[in-house]
Structure 1
Amino acid sequence: MRNPTTAVTDGLGVNPQVLALALARMSESVGNSFLIVVLPLFIASDLVGGGTFGLTEVFITGFILSVFGFVNSPLQPFTGRLSDRTARRKVFVLFGLALIAVAGVGYAFATTYWQLVGLRVLQGIAGAFIIPTTVALVNDLATDENRGGNMGTYNTFRLVGFGVGPIAAGGVVAAGPFSFSVGATTLSITGFDAAFYFAASTAVLAFLLVATLIRDPDIEPTESEESFLDSLAIRDPTGTQLLDPVFALAVVSFFMALGIAVFATLGDIVNAELDQGPDMFGLQFAAFVLAQIFLQAPIGRATDFYGRKVFILLGTVLLVPTTLAQGLIPDYSLAFGLISDSWVMFVARFFQGVGGAMVFAPALALAGDIAKEGESGTTLSVLTMAFGFGVAAGPLLSGWLVAWGFVVPFALAAGLAAVGVVVVITQVTEVNAPRRPIPLVGYVT
């Protein structure tokens, strides 16, 4: 039985505890995204060194940044399953936030590349405790009537934190060293140390918010002794379609995340092709996040009335041209000279973000509709794992495929999105009848 507090919502249909959890994730995301900017600068400085086994500093930097995703993604289903087995979410979130805070402080004392790798592994483990259990908490605290709005609001706040962190990080490093007096003693810390301590403090703030404002929902522990791998269904157990609907949603989420992430490692090439500076690339990179921030909450809320699948389908369709366009822009002026190609890239990234907003929160909400009582952690972790793998795989794939032409990684990602359209049409089904169904040609409920 769900906690009675799940029925309590604000005027937008959002549970107050979900809002508190969203604020906690926003705080933690600010600190975590700080490191995306600070760590490359730290690695390039004279403050850290060590053996590289013949690998370049650029590769070491990319490896250290990607370790987080490759560690936490495969662990998420197991922590999600364990939280179902124990019927406890809050302790997992608190443990993960504590690990992130410890790692944040640890960066200030790191002097070698491999210490940085170890700290990123620790943060990856922390992410595996936080990501699936917070999403499962949102699902547990929501109802069938407001799950989309709660998922959208949660993701919006999380992305706000992710977008704010990098903007402030470079300024903190550049403004150092910082000096302050404690009695008769003057203390001084570098800009890097200040950034690391700030990142740790955001995790501490998130810890306090969760500890004081969040309660575990009243759910029964799952009695099954199956492991996650035993419970993972790829084929539809009912035999009515090829894929299990949750696995189908995970496939679509993976394709979406991969298509978003292929842009990440191509900064120098994009700048050269479009004759632009790094500031413009940063704006183009942020365009996707901006669209998510503006649209996740209203789209999530709309799915509570009009159904989940119609938005997932339209979003996946939109991902195809917006992803392919990014690869075509350097060779073809898609705006016919009306605006510069750099701004065309910004527009393409923004509308790719619109497509992503129509896919991810509705997919999580639909998976939440499908999840059995007390199994939110297991079910939703399939999607969060798939998204994490897509974000990690996209940059590696684009760095390899771009050797055959700038358009190639984008064309492949657009092709996968097209496959995703077919998967949504044929393998994804609504669980709850929409309150205001939208007729759509070719749309099969």
Structure 2
Amino acid sequence: MVLGTDRRVLVLALARMADAIGNSFLIIVLPLYLASDIIPLEGLLGATVPVLGITVTTELLIGVLLSLFGFLNSFAQPFTGRLSDRTGKRRIYILFGLVLLGAASAAYVFAPNYETLVLLRALQGLGAAFTIPVTIALVNELATTESRGGNLGVFNTFRLIGFGFGPIIAGFVVAAGPYTFSGISLSGFDAAFYAAALGAFISFGLVTAFVSDPEKTDDLAADDLSFQVRDSTGKQALDPVFALGVATLFMGISIALFATLQENVNTRLGQGEFLFSIQFAAVIIANVLLQVPIGRASDQYGRRPFLLGGFLLLAPAVFVQGIVTSPITMIVARLIHGVAVAMVFAPGLAVAGDLAKEGQSGTTLSVLTMAFGLGTAIGPLASGYLVRFSFLTPFAFSAVLAVVALALVYSQVEETLPA
């Protein structure tokens, strides 16, 4: 799977996998931690948010804690990507982000109240804002036009493996506690937080030992780092990377809306938690299997056919999830959804990489990483609101967005590989 991939890209992929395992722990652990009464919430529950008039519940506090990471991470990425471009450095910012992620994970053990948890989660969002766009930029710069899609496919595959298995491991770690090591007792939660920190510091060690900046980034720090919305060439109305970013935002929403609907899906299909977990994981499984071959195929046959095919497949794959009536057909629909995402992910990043000027990979690729992060933050909120109208509504809404994404890519994004 990884033959022909630059060694440094493999190390970055392994480091990202270790980091993703640790960070995805918290998606499972933090809600359980707040619901366990370890952190006092009495002074917060039942209050009314002054502006919105919403009563504060445990679920709302969990949602704020989880969403804060996604929003802060996404909005900060253009700035961190631009900073790494302006200074001509990558590695130092990746290491800084990993330190923030790891230190904050370990500090959860000592947090006395909810406000401290919010502060630590915000620090983690900032840490991820340094690691994600800068790592992608470094992978892009270690590739050539002929290998970019394959390298990005390898990187995304390892990242998704970490993201997919992290929550499973986290649930086991919490449930199997408490632990005793050399007379020191750790609860399941403490062990999970320390394990998340360990993942970040393993990544730190791998990057420190095996990854260096490409020589060109030391000498070609970018000066012109303006964010483009309109196409500077005049060929299209929108800058192709911006258009692809909007399309990626819509794709991210389609992936994330499913998690909020767990109770609705299980009730409609007459199934339990196990089948839902398989359906949820189906998108990730399809991506793990297909990212590398599709990425490498896009190096050979072009980026645009896969982008168009992916968004063409995305709309019906999402829509049908709102009308299926059996667990098996939902699994099939989710697998097809994953195929569509795999056709877009690596080729889309490769397009941005092809178009990025020397020393501007961080700024350019952060448009896509920010858009995807925003999509995964917006998706659960959108589906949680729209499902009140009908079970089909959130899926139909996402399918319409997929059609808009297809139109954007078709009209605004040209092939970037030379003929």
TM bucket normalised to smaller: over 0.9
2:262 corresponds to 1:261? no
Equivalent position to 1:364, from 343, 349, 367: 349
- 1:351 corresponds to 2:336: yes
Instruction: Map 1:240-259 to 2 at 5 A.
Output: 240-259=235-254
Secondary structure (helix, strand or coil) at the match of 1:239 reads coil
The answer for the alignment partner of 2:278 in structure 1 is 283
CA distance in 1: counterparts of 2:142 and 2:150, whole angstroms: 12
In the alignment, the residues of structure 2 paired with residue 280 and residue 63 of structure 1 have an alpha-carbon distance, to the nearest angstrom, of 27
Give 1:433 shift: 2.4
Paired residues in the alignment total 407
TM-score by length of 2: 0.95
AA paired with 2:357?
A: K
Offset of residue 39 of structure 1? 0.9
Per the alignment, residue 113 of structure 1 pairs with 114
Structure 1 residue corresponding to 2:9, chosen from 15, 18, 22: 18
Q: Residue type matched to 1:368 in 2?
A: G
Q: Distance in 2 between matches of 1:238 and 1:77?
A: 22
Compared CA separation, residues 11 and 132, structure 1 to 2 (3 A): closer
The Cα shift of 1:431 comes to 2.0
CA contact (8 A) 2:222 2:358 kept: no
Alignment of 1:53-202 (within 5 A): 53=47, 54-181=55-182, 186-202=183-199
Give the aligned partner of residue 376 of structure 2. Answer: 391
1:180 deviates by 2.3
Cα deviation, residue 46, structure 1: 2.0
Q: CA deviation at 1:221?
A: 3.5
Q: Which amino acid aligns with 2:5?
A: V
Which deviates the most, 256-265 or 111-120?
111-120
In structure 2, what is the Cα distance between the partners aligned to 1:210 and 1:382? 24
**Residue pair 1:47, 1:111 contacting (<8 A) in 2 also:** no
User: 2 CA distance for matches of 1:110 and 1:267?
Assistant: 30
**d(CA) in 2 for partners of 1:284, 1:374:** 41
Asked if structure 1 preserves the Cα contact closer than 8 Å seen for 2:303 and 2:416, the reply is: no
Q: Say if 2:32 is the partner of 1:44.
A: no
Q: Residues of 2 paired with 1:200 and 1:11: CA distance?
A: 27
Preserved CA contact (<8 Å) 1:30 1:199: yes
RMSD over equivalenced CA pairs, Å: 1.2
Residue 396 of structure 2 corresponds to residue 411 of structure 1: yes
Which of 390, 402, 408 is matched with 2:387 structurally?
402
**3-state DSSP class of the match of 1:432?**
coil
Tell me, yes or no, if structure 1 residue 210 matches structure 2 residue 207: yes
Letter in structure 2 aligned against 1:353: G
Shift of 1:11: 7.1
Kept after mapping to 2: 8 A contact 1:66/1:392: yes
With structure 1 as the length reference, what TM-score do the two structures score?
0.90
Distance apart, 1:360 and its partner CA: 1.1
Shift of 1:111: 3.0
Aligned-residue offset at 1:200 = 0.3
Question: Partner residue of 2:311?
Answer: 316
Is the 8 Å Cα contact of residues 149 and 300 (structure 1) preserved in structure 2?
yes
Matched residue type, 2:293: P
**Using the alignment, how far apart are the partners of 1:414 and 1:287 within structure 2?**
18
Q: Tell me if structure 2 keeps the 8 A contact 1:75–1:128.
A: yes
Amino acid at match of 2:339: V
